[in-house]
C-alpha cells in the first residue's frame, strides 16, 4: 500500500485514492476501477480497487481509532462535526461538479445534495450532545439502576450511486457523533464524492482511522468487512436483494444492522385534490435525478373523476423538461447512471406496452442521442397492477398512471407490493389526509408534496424496504447500545 497522496488530500483536486487510517492510498496491488461519465459514456477517472490487505488495514485503523474516539467528550465531537459541515459548504461547487461528472444529475441537483449532506453533519453535531441515558428506581433504596448509551463500535457502511454524497453523509455523521469509527464503501459508479467527505473530515481534524473510505468490488468488500469480528454494525442503502444478502452475512456474526432498501412509492390523488399543484409536484419529483430516487413517486393512482385531467397536466408539464448533460445549466433531466438502468427502463416500457398500456409521453431514447444513457420522461396510461412497472421499482423516468374508485381500493392497491418506503397523498380534506396517511403501509408519507428527505426527520421504510432509520433524533440510536448498570450499595 502506498503512502500519503497530496493530490487526493488537497481541496481543488479530484480525490482519486482511498482514505485509510488518515492516509490517501493506492491499492496494494495497483488495481483500479474506471469511472464513466453517463452523459458521454467516456472514462473520466479511476480509483483504487481495494485488496484483502487494504481492507484489513482499514479494519485495523477503525478498530484502533474507535477505542480512543469513544473516549472523546460529546462537545468535542460536536465541534468537529460542525467544522466538517462548514468545509462541505465551502466546497459545494467543487463537490457538485465531481458528482455531476460521475453520476450525471444536473448541477443544480448536485449542489442541493451537497447542501443536504452538510445539513446532516450539522444536525448530528447537535445530536452528539444529546445521547441521553436514564436513572430508574429499583426495588429498594439499596439499588441504583442506570441506563447509559455507548457507541456500538466500528461500522461497515455501503452506499448506492444515486445520491453519492448524501447517502455516505447519513451514515458518517451519526457514527462520528456517537463515538464510532466507520468504513464507507461507495458505489463504484460514483465513488469520488464520498472521498470528498473523507477529505472534509480529514481537514476538520477528525482523528485518523475514525473515517475510512475504500473503493472497489462491493461484494468482495462486504464479505471481507462483515465477516470480520472488528465490525459491530452494518449499514446499507441499496437494493432489496443486496440488503437480504448483507443481512445473511451479518447474521453469522449477530451484528447490528440498519437497511434503507428499495421502494415503489404510491401516489394517491383524491377527487378533491388541487390537480394543478399535484401534477406540478409530481413532475418535479418524478423526474428528479432521472427517477433514480428511492422515494421517487413510482405508482400513480388518481381518482376516476380526475384521472384524465391529472394525466393531461402531467404530460403537458413533463413534455417541457429539457434533457441533456448535467453540466448544461438548462438541463432538467440528466442521463441514467449506468447501462443496467437504461436496459431495465426499456424492458419495463416494452412489458407495459405489450400488455396493453398506452404511451402518453416518451417511451424511447431521445432523438440524436447516440451517446449517453438518456431516456425520455415517460408517462404510461391504461396500466394494470400486474405489469412489471407496477410490481417492481422502475428507478427511472417512468410514470405509470392508473385510476381508483374508493379510498379502500386505493389503499389496497398501494399496499399490495412487498415495499413500504414512502407514500404520497394529495387531498384538500383533513379527514382524507389522516385516513390515507394512516392506511399506507410505509415508513414515510408526504401529504400534498413529495420532498421527504431532511436531516431533522427520520428516513426509512417497513416491510422489505428496510430496518432502522436515518436522520432525525432516531438516526443516532442504531449507532449506540444501551448498557444497564444495576448497583447494590
Which positions are catalytic?
260, 294
3-state secondary structure the chain: CCCCCCCCCCCCCCCCCEEECCEEECCCCCCEEEEEECCCCEEEEEEECCCHHHHHHHHHHHHHHHHHHCCCCHHHHHHHHHHHHHHHHHCHHHHHHHHHHHHCCCHHHHHHHHHHHHHHHHHHHHHCCCCCCEEECCCCCCEEEEEEEEECCCEEEECCCCCCCHHHHHHHHHHHHHCCCEEEECCCCCCHHHHHHHHHHHHCCCCECCEEECCCCHHHHHHHHHCCCCCCEEEEECCHHHHHHHHHHHHHCCCEEEEECCCCEEEEECCCCCHHHHHHHHHHHHCHHHHCCCCCEEEEEEECCCHHHHHHHHHHHHHCCCECCCCCCCCCECCCCCHHHHHHHHHHHHHHHHCCCEEEECCCCCCCCCCCCCCCCEEEECCCCCCHHHHCCCCCCEEEEEEECCHHHHHHHHCCCCCCCEEEEECCCHHHHHHHHHHCCCCEEEECCCCCCCCCCCECCCHHHEECCECCHHHHHHHEEEEEEEEEC
Amino acid at each position: 500500500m502506498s503512502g500519503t497522496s497530496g493530490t487526493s488530500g488537497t481541496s481543488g483536486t479530484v480525490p482519486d485514492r482511498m482514505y485509510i487510517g488518515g492516509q490517501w492510498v493506492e491499492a496494494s496491488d495497483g488495481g483500479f476501477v474506471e469511472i464513466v461519465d453517463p452523459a458521454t459514456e467516456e472514462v473520466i477517472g479511476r480509483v483504487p480497487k481495494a485488496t484483502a490487505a487494504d481492507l484489513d488495514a482499514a479494519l485495523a485503523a477503525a478498530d484502533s481509532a474507535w477505542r480512543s474516539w469513544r473516549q472523546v467528550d460529546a462537545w468535542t465531537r460536536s465541534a468537529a462535526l460542525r467544522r466538517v459541515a462548514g468545509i462541505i459548504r465551502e466546497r459545494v461547487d467543487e463537490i457538485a461538479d465531481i458528482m455531476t461528472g460521475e453520476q450525471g444529475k444536473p448541477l443544480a441537483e448536485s449542489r442541493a445534495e451537497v447542501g443536504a449532506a452538510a445539513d446532516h453533519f450539522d444536525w448530528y453535531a447537535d445530536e452528539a450532545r444529546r445521547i441521553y441515558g436514564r436513572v430508574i428506581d429499583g426495588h429498594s433504596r439499596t439499588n441504583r439502576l442506570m441506563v447509559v448509551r455507548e457507541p456500538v463500535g466500528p461500522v461497515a457502511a455501503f452506499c448506492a450511486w444515486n445520491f453519492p454524497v448524501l447517502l455516505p453523509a447519513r451514515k458518517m455523521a451519526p457514527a462520528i457523533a456517537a463515538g464510532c469509527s466507520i468504513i464507507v464503501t461507495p458505489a463504484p459508479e460514483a465513488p469520488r464524492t464520498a472521498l470528498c467527505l473523507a477529505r472534509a473530515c480529514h481537514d476538520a481534524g477528525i482523528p485518523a482511522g475514525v473515517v475510512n473510505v475504500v473503493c472497489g468490488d462491493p461484494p468482495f468488500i462486504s464479505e471481507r468487512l462483515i465477516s470480520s469480528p472488528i465490525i459491530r454494525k452494518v449499514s446499507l442503502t441499496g437494493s432489496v436483494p443486496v440488503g437480504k444478502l448483507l443481512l445473511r452475512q451479518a447474521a453469522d456474526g449477530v451484528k447490528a444492522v440498519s437497511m434503507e432498501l428499495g421502494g415503489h412509492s404510491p401516489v394517491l390523488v383524491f377527487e378533491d385534490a388541487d390537480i394543478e399543484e399535484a401534477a406540478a409536484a409530481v413532475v418535479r419529483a418524478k423526474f428528479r435525478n432521472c427517477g433514480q430516487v428511492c422515494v421517487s413517486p413510482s405508482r400513480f393512482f388518481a381518482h376516476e373523476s380526475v384521472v384524465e385531467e391529472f394525466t393531461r397536466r402531467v404530460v403537458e408539464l413533463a413534455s417541457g423538461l429539457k434533457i441533456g448533460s448535467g453540466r448544461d445549466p438548462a438541463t432538467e433531466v440528466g442521463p441514467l447512471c449506468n447501462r443496467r438502468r437504461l436496459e431495465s427502463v426499456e424492458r419495463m416500457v416494452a412489458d407495459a406496452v405489450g400488455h396493453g398500456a398506452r404511451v402518453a409521453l416518451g417511451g424511447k431514447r431521445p432523438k440524436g442521442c447516440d451517446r449517453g444513457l438518456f431516456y425520455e420522461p415517460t408517462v404510461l396510461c391504461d396500466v394494470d397492477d400486474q405489469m412489471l412497472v407496477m410490481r417492481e421499482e422502475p428507478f427511472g423516468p417512468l410514470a405509470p398512471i392508473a385510476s381508483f374508485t374508493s379510498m379502500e381500493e386505493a389503499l389496497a392497491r398501494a399496499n399490495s407490493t412487498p415495499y413500504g418506503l414512502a407514500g404520497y397523498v394529495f387531498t384538500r380534506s383533513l379527514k382524507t389526509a389522516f385516513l390515507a396517511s394512516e392506511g399506507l403501509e410505509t415508513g414515510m408519507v408526504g401529504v400534498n408534496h413529495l420532498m421527504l428527505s431532511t436531516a431533522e426527520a427520520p428516513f426509512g421504510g417497513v416491510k422489505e424496504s428496510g430496518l432502522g432509520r436515518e436522520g432525525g433524533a432516531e438516526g443516532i440510536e442504531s449507532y449506540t447500545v444501551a448498557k444497564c448498570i444495576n448497583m447494590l450499595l
